[in-house]
Amino acid sequence: MREAVDDFARHLAAERNRSVHTVRAYVGDVVSLLDHAVAAGAEAPAALTLAVLRGWLARRRAAGHARTSLARHAAAARTFTAWAKREGLADADPGQRLASPKAHRDLPTVLRADQAETLVTSPSGRADALGLRDRAVLELLYGTGIRVSELCGLDLGDVDRMRRVVRVVGKGDKERSVPYGLPADQALTEWLRHGRPALEAAQSGQALLLGARGGRLQAGAARRVVDGYARAAGLPPTSPHDLRHSAATHLLEGGADLRSVQEILGHASLSSTQIYTHVSIERLRSAYEQAHPRA
């Protein structure tokens, strides 16, 4: 069982090119599954049955795991049993028949356009290097809708200033080009001209955005930037992902088509992007109920 887990982890990382976080989550789920299987008398992956898989999921449900977590647990189990069969560790793939609860998706937190503008312009009064960096961070997150990990991974060569486009490496090492607007370009100009040289150090390398000590800006620090300015501006608790949600929603509300927004966000499936149409409909409904005398 232990050898199977180690080989499965290598398969996810090397062959399927999954992120470190995905590998960690899937391996954790599989270890839990195999512990359950061993307790039920199984000694090898070949002994996994549909009943064992269902029993494991039932125990996770009874332990209070959310539907989103249960859906991921089931996905990890199906991925493992399919891999085990391909590798000859099992004669059958019981995961093919394993159903999982459909994950309940709450509508994402979305700022109004005026709130987003207040947030991204909050550092405008600061002329120091960190203030210039923070303005670039906020303008790029909202102006492009990219993930915070994608933002922190940007190098100087990933920015095409002539076309106002950034080259982003997203999930699964998939590369895409994302446009950004004039305010973000102006923030970048100030950062590159006056901010970055003041923070640059031997460890800076080609990183576009730098931390206070000159190294590449880390995702945790970027999250603190967003949260700090949101709190200072009296806005609802806001994360970089909330800015991504806001950018997508405002694009759709401004007339962008769903397929274009999918490309900008780097979603593999259009279904992931469709949640923003629900956000727009709910906002429209709310506005109607507040404004129409016979709502």
The model's pLDDT over 229-279, given as tens digits with 9 standing for 90+, comes to 999 999 999 999 999 999 999 998 888 898 999 999 999 888 788 888 877
* Site of tokens 């992007």: 273
CB distance 175 to 163 below 8 Å = no
Instruction: Tell me whether residue 267 is one of the annotated catalytic residues.
Output: yes
**Catalytic position from the list 36, 85, 244, 245:** 244
Instruction: Tell me whether residue 241 is one of the annotated catalytic residues.
Output: yes
**Catalytic position from the list 18, 78, 147, 196:** 147
The Cβ-side half-sphere exposure at 32, using a 13 Å CA radius, reads 20
- Please count the other Cβ atoms lying within 10 Å of the Cβ belonging to residue 156: 13
> What 3-state class would DSSP assign to 137?
helix
**Catalytic position from the list 167, 171, 223, 283:** 171
* Spans of the chain, pLDDT less than 70: 101-106, 295
Amino acid present at 142: Y
Instruction: Tell me whether residue 147 is one of the annotated catalytic residues.
Output: yes
pLDDT of residue 102: 67
Helix intervals (H) in the chain: 2-10, 20-39, 50-62, 67-86, 113-120, 129-144, 148-152, 182-190, 196-199, 219-232, 240-253, 258-265, 270-273, 275-291
pLDDT of residue 178: 95
pLDDT of residue 209: 98
- The rounded distance, in Å, linking the Cα atoms of 81 and 78 is 5
Own/partner pairs for 94-99, CB < 8 Å, 24+ apart?
94/48, 94/49, 94/50, 94/52, 94/53, 95/53, 97/50, 98/50, 98/53, 98/54, 98/57, 98/74, 99/74
**Catalytic position from the list 11, 126, 241, 283:** 241
The strand pairing partners of 176, in sequence order, are 168
- The rounded distance, in Å, linking the Cα atoms of 261 and 256 is 7
Q: What is the pLDDT of residues 84-117, one digit of tens each?
A: 999 999 999 999 999 876 655 667 788 999 999 9
Instruction: Tell me whether residue 73 is one of the annotated catalytic residues.
Output: no
| DSSP code of residue 210 | B
The pTM of this model reads 0.69
